[in-house]
Structure 1
C-alpha cells in the first residue's frame, strides 16, 4: 500500500481507493483525499467490542445488523470507516455499506482525531441522511447521542458514567458507560 499511496498523483477516485484493498491501517476517502489513522488502541477496541455485544441481540430482534469497521459510502468519493454501524438488510459481499442502509453510526473519539469525529464526520453523516449518531468518549465512555433534524444533528442525550442510556430507536438497548470500559 505504501508505494501505491506515495506514488499517486492528484485526487483519489473511489475506484483507486477501493483498489487499495484491505489495509492494516484505517484508510478513509474524503472528497479525493485519503485520511489514514493508526490502528485503534486496546481501550478503543474494548469499547467497540462491548458496544457490539450490547447491540447484537437487540439488532437481531429488530431484523438489523451490527458491524465494526466497515466502509460506509456516504456519496461518491466519500467513504469513512466508522467504528460501528447498525444497518438494515445489506449485501455482505459488497465493498461498501451504503449510507441509506445505516440506521445508527458510532464513533469512539480518539484523542488524535477528535475534531474529525466531532465536526467533519458529524457533518458528513448528517448530510448522508443517517438518522442516529453516537459519539463515545474514550476516556470515560460518556455517550453523546445525536438525532438528525433537518440537515444537522441535535443532541438527544448525554449519558455520563453512573447514568444509563436507554435507546428505543433504532434498537432497544440499555447502555451503562462504565460497562464499556476495561
Structure 2
C-alpha cells in the first residue's frame, strides 16, 4: 500500500530484535537524499520532507502512462522531451514524480540524470491510483501550479467500462492556480503545449 513515511529501516526485523529506524533530519529529508539513501524502493517521492513509497499499480495506470508517453513523444517538437516517472525538483523538501512529464530539451544533461528542475517542466501528468487520490488531485497539482508548471493533466478511470477521462488544466498567471480547460474521454486533441492528438480508446488495444 502506498504511504508516506519519514524513515527507512536500517535492518530487517528479527524475532530477537525490533527494527532500527534512522532519525530523519530536523527539517526532514531533502531531494538530495533521494539519490543517496540506501535501499529506497523505485519511484520514491519526496513531499514536504517525507518519503512517499509507490504501491503496486493497476494495469490501467501502466497502460495510460505508455499511451500518453508515446502520444506525446510522437507529437513533441525538437525543443521538448517526454519522460515518465522521473523526479521533479521543486525545492529541497519536495521532489514529486509525475507519471508523465514534458521538459525543455536544455534540461536534459545526460543518461545518468535522475531529476529535472521544475523551471524546465512544461507539462506534468498524474494518473490517479486508489491509494494516492488526495495527492494526485490536491497536493501535487497545488505544488505544480505554485512552482510554475503551466500545464497539468489529471487522468482517471470512469464508468462501468473503466474508460479513461483526462482533465486538462492550464495555470492562471494571476491566481497561480490551475483552471480546467477541458475534459476528454475518447480523443485528446489539444494545441498546447504543442499540437497533440491522442486516441484514448486505444487503451483497449494495449
Per the alignment, residue 168 of structure 2 pairs with 145
TM-score of the superposed pair, with normalisation by structure 2: 0.78
**Of residues 120, 144, 154 in structure 1, which corresponds to 2:179?**
154
Is structure 2 residue 134 aligned with structure 1 residue 120?
A: no
Q: CA RMSD in A?
A: 2.2
**Of residues 146, 149, 174 in structure 1, which corresponds to 2:197?**
174
Larger-gyration structure (1/2) = 2
1-side partners of 2:203 and 2:39: how far apart?
Answer: 28
Bigger share in helix:
1
User: Paired residues, what number?
Assistant: 179
| Structure 1 residue 71: Cα displacement | 0.6
Greater mean alpha carbon deviation, residues 16-25 or residues 33-42: 16-25
Is structure 2 residue 80 aligned with structure 1 residue 69?
A: no
| Structure 1 residue 173: Cα displacement | 1.2
Q: What SS does the corresponding residue of 2:70 show, helix, strand or coil?
A: helix
Gapped regions of structure 1 (runs ≥ 5): none
2-side partners of 1:40 and 1:24: how far apart?
Answer: 14
2-side partners of 1:63 and 1:94: how far apart?
Answer: 18
Alignment of 1:12-161 (within 5 A): 12-20=29-37, 23-59=40-76, 61-89=77-105, 90=107, 91-92=109-110, 93-138=112-157, 139-150=162-173, 151-161=176-186
| Structure 1 residue 62: Cα displacement | 4.1
Q: What SS does the corresponding residue of 2:52 show, helix, strand or coil?
A: strand
* Closer/same/farther in 2, CA of residues 176 and 124 from structure 1, 3 Å limit: same
1-side partners of 2:164 and 2:51: how far apart?
Answer: 28
2-side partners of 1:48 and 1:22: how far apart?
Answer: 25
Per the alignment, residue 7 of structure 1 pairs with 21
Gapped regions of structure 2 (runs ≥ 5): 1-6, 12-19
